[in-house]
A and B are shown apart, each in its own frame.
Chain A
Amino acid sequence: MRGAFVRTLTEIAAEDARVLLLTGDLGYMALEPFSERFPDRFLNVGVAEQNMVGTATGLAEGGFIPFVYSIVTFATLRPYEFIRNGPVWHGLPVRIVGVGGGFEYGQQGMSHHGLEDMGVMRVQPGITVIAPADHRQMASALRATWDLPGPVYYRIGKDDRTEVPGLDGRFALGRAEVVRSGDDVALVTSGSVAVEATAAADALAARGVRATVLVVASVQPAPSEDLVTALRRVPLVLTVEAHYLNGGLGSLVAETIAEHGLGCRLVRRGVRSGPDGMSGSQRWFHEAHGLSAAALEDAVLDALARR
């Protein structure tokens, strides 16, 4: 996704001179396609994320479209008040790019795990929140949103090879993408963990359980109509996200169910527990938090058995 982001942004920058890329001293072996082609529109601002967002606010007020890049936690949490009082308050086209949603920086430890970014970003009014599921969707999502008038947050991954089968790079703002269809259960997912959800759906199909899989890359604006349409048809919905349980996709789906008076049961799968001092790979963390395809399959079977 990171490669697709930089490649697509470089293409866009060739078309529009307002596009700038700022980094908080991250992106080695990632941002070079942009920095080498547009050295005058690339700026490493140093390890100073508050100033990065504040400076981007001033640049955007002057007519530019600055993308600011860092690891999810450093891009969103450290400068959070600057995001709120800068681009959000002023309605300016600053783009916050956080790389490594969830456990993509697994071994780097808790400081590098992006576990609450969707929650804190989507509570801000007027900011678009985009969490692509694979590199092809990253490219189309960026193409569809780079010149929106207000601020955008992109929660992106590092993997530029894995594809969510059936997604085919589709993206539309305020819409969810259906990649599997079935009336027994709906799995609603977002970000790079979506491949676990589709794998779980395929395993369930082999057991005769027909699952819909909805990929939500447009977290804000939320794809309310698509969610309602899909969730009306199923008795059970399982949300799947590499994010704390509260505030993210599971919360969004819970709000949708409640506000529309839907009758389906909701099971949220995400990160339930706080830091426990353990480290490991993304796969290890997904297994530890019940986000592997096998664990999701079990969760669906267990919930269906309890009905």
Chain B
Amino acid sequence: MTTRGATAYDHGRMPRPAEQPDPGPSPVTGNAIRRIVLEQSKRANVGHIGSALSVADVVATLHGRVLHIPRHDDPERDRFVVSKGHAVLAVYAALALRGWLPAEQLDTYCGDGSSLGVHPEHVLPGIDFSTGSLGHGLSFGAGAALAARMQGSARRAFVLLSDAECNEGSVWEAAMFAAHHKLASLVAIIDLNGQQALGYTDDVLSLSPMADRWRAFGWDVHEVDGHDVDGLAETIAGLDTTSGPPHVLVARTVFGKGVSYMERQIKWHYSPMSDDEYRRALAEIEEQERSACGAHSSAR
């Protein structure tokens, strides 16, 4: 398993970390994230479920295989900006699965006096930047990447954006800036699920073809399946994050992925689940976990 893109250490000025014994498969999987997303959304009776399910595999890839985070406060850690902050429950789930967020704290999600709100707060270890208002994160990430370059560091900055977030003009200010300054250590991932709060992106304010737009802005563009963890990890491992243009993965995803009645349905941007909907959703995810487990066993 690739845990880190080789190029950053091979070409950067950052020392390669000591070889660690293979810890085995990461506990951070898309389905494990989905299960927590459902559990916590139901417990707190809140929405944004479809968005969190949409990015579950991207987050699993980053936290399971890509991000280099020796400690939450290590200045040399990779940065991860959840620019589509409304999907951060998937990240809380990943932090919990990594053992960095205690279960009792995870259970404060959306509670009074909790730092686990619907949108991320940087006071929470594992959250580098607070977000929630779309269109901020790519600039934060560009600054983080520029800071790394000026300090001679090989650390990288990953920014998770939604496709509709690209409605915001500030995204394109940052896109121009990052390309002009060849911020190679900046990796944007666009959750291209084709939906936004009130409709389908092609009906509201079309950004198609998304990949061509980023190419026109001078980015290194990769069109990928946003639910293929192996493919995502392989693509990221192949990026040159030491020189050249910034990178964007235009990740095709299914809104509500994994819960059949939520998939591609506008309703699940905001709606919480009824008891029955929760039972059905959880049953589907559990079935997928069993199939994935079976496939894993037979592969052995």
Contact = CB atoms under 8 A, between A and B. Distances in A.
A89 B117 CA distance: 15
Contact of B146 (A53, A58, A85, A89): A58
Given A58-B157, A89-B130, A50 B170 contact: yes
A81 to B, nearest CB: 6
B225 interface: no
Contacts of B135: 50
B298 interface: no
Nearest to B138: A54
A192 interface: no
Nearest to A91: B122
Contact of A58 (B122, B132, B145): B145
B291 to A, nearest CB: 41
Contacts, number: 95
B179 to A, nearest CB: 12
Given A48-B177, A51-B173, A63-B147, A58 B139 contact: yes
Nearest to A60: B143
A51 B174 contact: yes
B129 interface: yes
Contact of A57 (B75, B133, B140): B140
Nearest to B144: A58
B176 A58 contact: no
Contact of A85 (B130, B147, B180): B130
Given A61-B129, A85-B133, A54 B143 contact: yes
Contacts of A53: 139
B144 A54 contact: no
Contacts of A60: 143
Q: Do most interface residues of chain B lie in helix, strand or loop, or is the interface mixed?
A: helix
B177 A55 contact: yes
B174 A62 contact: no
B148 A90 contact: no
Interface residues of A, number: 25
B122 A54 contact: no
A154 interface: no
Contact of A50 (B75, B79, B139): B139
A59 B147 contact: yes
Given A57-B139, A85-B130, A48 B144 contact: no
Given A46-B177, A48-B173, A51-B174, A58 B136 contact: no
Nearest to A89: B130
Contacts of B75: 62-63
B82 to A, nearest CB: 13
Interface in B95-142: 122, 128-133, 135-136, 138-142
Interface string A70-114: 000000000001100110011000000000000000000000000
B151 interface: yes
Q: Do most interface residues of chain A lie in helix, strand or loop, or is the interface mixed?
A: helix
Given A48-B177, A90-B122, A54 B150 contact: no
A45 interface: yes
Contacts of A57: 129, 139-140, 143
B25 to A, nearest CB: 32
Contacts of B79: 58, 61
Contacts of A45: 177
Contacts of A64: 147, 150
A99 to B, nearest CB: 21
Contacts of B180: 46
Interface string B165-207: 0000110011011001000000000000000000000000000
A46 to B, nearest CB: 7
B213 to A, nearest CB: 17
A54 B129 CA distance: 11
Contacts of B148: 62
A48 B131 CA distance: 20
A56 interface: yes
B139 A82 contact: yes
B139 A59 contact: no
Contact of A51 (B131, B133, B170): B170
Contact of B147 (A50, A51, A62, A86): A62
25 contacts: A45-B177, A46-B180, A48-B173, A50-B139, A50-B170, A50-B173, A51-B142, A51-B173, A51-B176, A54-B138, A54-B139, A55-B143, A55-B146, A57-B140, A58-B140, A58-B144, A59-B144, A59-B147, A61-B128, A61-B143, A61-B147, A62-B143, A62-B144, A64-B150, A85-B133
Interface of A: 40, 45-46, 48, 50-51, 53-64, 66, 81-82, 85-86, 89-90
Given A63-B75, A85-B136, 13 more contacts: A45-B177, A51-B174, A54-B142, A57-B140, A57-B143, A58-B142, A58-B144, A59-B147, A62-B147, A81-B136, A85-B132, A86-B136, A86-B140
Interface of B: 75, 79, 122, 128-133, 135-136, 138-148, 150-151, 157, 169-170, 173-174, 176-177, 180
Q: Which 9 A-B pairs have the closest CB atoms?
A: A58-B143, A54-B139, A62-B147, A51-B173, A48-B173, A55-B143, A58-B144, A50-B170, A59-B143
